[in-house]
Structure 1
Amino acid sequence: MAEAGQFDRAAAKAGRKLLGQELRRLGGRAWLPVVLGLAVAGAGIAQAWLLASLVAGLLGLGTGGWPELIGAAALALLAAALVSAQEIAQGAAGRAARAGLRARVFAALLAAGPADGRAAGEKASLAVEQVEALDGYFSRWLPAALLALMVPAGIIVAVWVFDWVSGLVLLVMGMLVPVFMAVAGIGAARASRRQFDALARLSGRFTDRIRGLSTLVQFNRAEDEAVALGAAAEELRTRTMRVLRVAFLSSGGLELLAAGTLAYLAWRHGSLLGHNHPDAVTALWCILVVPAFFQPLRNFSAAYHEAQSARGAAAALAPLLADAAPQGLALEKVPPLVALSCADVKLNYAAGRPPALDGLSFSLPAGETLLLAGASGSGKSSLLALLLGFRRPDAGRIAINGQDITRLRPAELRRMVAHVGQRPHIFAGTIAENIAFARPEAGRAAIEAAAEAAQVLAFTDHLPLGLDTPVGEGGHGLSGGQAQRVGLARAFLREAPLVLLDEPTASLDPGTEGIVLEAIRKLCMGRTAIVATHSAAALRGLPGRVLVLENGRASGRRAAAGE
Structure 2
Amino acid sequence: MAEVRQRGDAASALLRREARAARGRLGLPLGLGLAQVILGIAQAWLIAGLIAKLLGYGAAGWPALGAVAALALVSAGLGVAQERALMATGEAAKARLRAAAFERLLAQGAEDNRGVGERAALVVDRIEALEGFLTRWLPAAALAMAAPVLVAGAAFTVDATSGAILLVAALLVPVAMAVTGIGAAQASKRQFAALDMLSGRFLDRMRGLPTLVLFRRQEAEAQALGVAAEDLRQRTMRVLRVAFLSSASMEALAAGAIACLAIRHGAVLGQNHPDPAGAIFCLLLVPALFTPLRAFSQAYHERSAANGAAAELAPLLATEPPGGLVLEEMPRKLVVSFQDVRLTYDPTRPPALDGVSFRAVPGETVVLAGASGAGKSSILRLLMGFRRPDSGRISLNGQDATQLTPAELRRLSSYVGQRAHLFRATIRENIALARPDATPAEVESAATAARVTDFAKALPEGLETLVGEGGFGLSGGQAQRVAIARAFLRDTPLVLLDEPTAHLDPGTEAEVLDSLRRLCTGRTAIVASHSRAAQRLGRVLEIAAGRVAGPRMAGE
TM-score normalised to the size of structure 2?
0.90
- Please list, as runs of the form range in 1=range in 2, the aligned pairs for 1:228-247 lying within 5 A after superposition: 228-247=224-243
**CA offsets 1:489-518 (integer angstroms, 9 cap, x no match):** 211110111111112233444444444333
Letter of the aligned partner of 2:542 in structure 1?
A: V
Contact 1:372-1:531 at 8 Å conserved across structures: yes
The verdict on how the C-alpha distance between 1:476 and 1:259 changes in structure 2, with shifts beyond 3 A counting, is: closer
CA-CA distance at 1:58 after TM superposition: 4.5
Q: What is the distance in 2 between the residues matched to 1:195 and 1:370?
A: 50
Is 1:441–2:437 an aligned residue pair?
yes
Among 200, 215, 219, the alignment partner of 1:204 is 200
Is 1:142–2:138 an aligned residue pair?
yes
The verdict on how the C-alpha distance between 1:266 and 1:476 changes in structure 2, with shifts beyond 3 A counting, is: closer
The verdict on how the C-alpha distance between 1:359 and 1:172 changes in structure 2, with shifts beyond 3 A counting, is: farther
Secondary structure at the aligned position of 1:536 is classed as coil
The verdict on how the C-alpha distance between 1:239 and 1:395 changes in structure 2, with shifts beyond 3 A counting, is: farther
The verdict on how the C-alpha distance between 1:260 and 1:481 changes in structure 2, with shifts beyond 3 A counting, is: closer
CA-CA distance at 1:423 after TM superposition: 1.8
Aligned to 2:293: 297
Letter of the aligned partner of 2:514 in structure 1?
A: E
Is 1:258–2:254 an aligned residue pair?
yes
Identity among equivalent positions (%) equals 60
Contact 2:36-2:75 at 8 Å conserved across structures: yes
Among 442, 446, 452, the alignment partner of 2:448 is 452
- Please list, as runs of the form range in 1=range in 2, the aligned pairs for 1:34-433 lying within 5 A after superposition: 34-271=30-267, 276-323=272-319, 325=321, 327-433=323-429
| Structure 2, unpaired ranges of 5+ | none
Contact 2:356-2:548 at 8 Å conserved across structures: yes
CA-CA distance at 1:65 after TM superposition: 3.6
The verdict on how the C-alpha distance between 1:73 and 1:235 changes in structure 2, with shifts beyond 3 A counting, is: same
**CA offsets 1:119-178 (integer angstroms, 9 cap, x no match):** 333333334333333332233222111110111122233434554333332332222211
CA-CA distance at 1:36 after TM superposition: 1.2
The verdict on how the C-alpha distance between 1:156 and 1:407 changes in structure 2, with shifts beyond 3 A counting, is: farther
Aligned to 1:551: 545
Is 1:484–2:480 an aligned residue pair?
yes
Contact 2:22-2:134 at 8 Å conserved across structures: no
The verdict on how the C-alpha distance between 1:506 and 1:62 changes in structure 2, with shifts beyond 3 A counting, is: closer
Secondary structure at the aligned position of 1:399 is classed as strand
Contact 1:374-1:559 at 8 Å conserved across structures: no
CA-CA distance at 1:205 after TM superposition: 1.6
Contact 1:548-1:559 at 8 Å conserved across structures: no
Secondary structure at the aligned position of 1:505 is classed as coil
Secondary structure at the aligned position of 2:469 is classed as coil
Secondary structure at the aligned position of 2:533 is classed as helix
Q: What is the distance in 2 between the residues matched to 1:41 and 1:35?
A: 10
The verdict on how the C-alpha distance between 1:493 and 1:261 changes in structure 2, with shifts beyond 3 A counting, is: same
Letter of the aligned partner of 2:442 in structure 1?
A: A
The verdict on how the C-alpha distance between 1:463 and 1:49 changes in structure 2, with shifts beyond 3 A counting, is: closer
Q: What is the distance in 1 between the residues matched to 2:10 and 2:244?
A: 28
Secondary structure at the aligned position of 1:350 is classed as coil
The verdict on how the C-alpha distance between 1:77 and 1:490 changes in structure 2, with shifts beyond 3 A counting, is: closer
Is 1:12–2:8 an aligned residue pair?
yes
- Please list, as runs of the form range in 1=range in 2, the aligned pairs for 1:507-546 lying within 5 A after superposition: 507-539=503-535, 541-544=536-539, 546=540
Contact 2:513-2:534 at 8 Å conserved across structures: yes
Farther off after superposition, 258-267 or 236-245: 258-267
Q: What is the distance in 1 between the residues matched to 2:334 and 2:105?
A: 28
CA-CA distance at 1:108 after TM superposition: 4.2
TM-score normalised to the size of structure 1?
0.89
Farther off after superposition, 456-465 or 410-419: 456-465
Q: What is the distance in 1 between the residues matched to 2:530 and 2:342?
A: 23
**CA offsets 1:329-365 (integer angstroms, 9 cap, x no match):** 4433322223323344333323422222233333434
Farther off after superposition, 330-339 or 522-531: 330-339
The verdict on how the C-alpha distance between 1:52 and 1:456 changes in structure 2, with shifts beyond 3 A counting, is: closer
Contact 1:111-1:324 at 8 Å conserved across structures: no
CA-CA distance at 1:274 after TM superposition: 5.5
User: RMSD across aligned C-alpha pairs, in angstroms?
Assistant: 2.9
**CA offsets 1:17-39 (integer angstroms, 9 cap, x no match):** 44444445556543322121111
Q: What is the distance in 1 between the residues matched to 2:176 and 2:15?
A: 25
CA-CA distance at 1:316 after TM superposition: 2.0
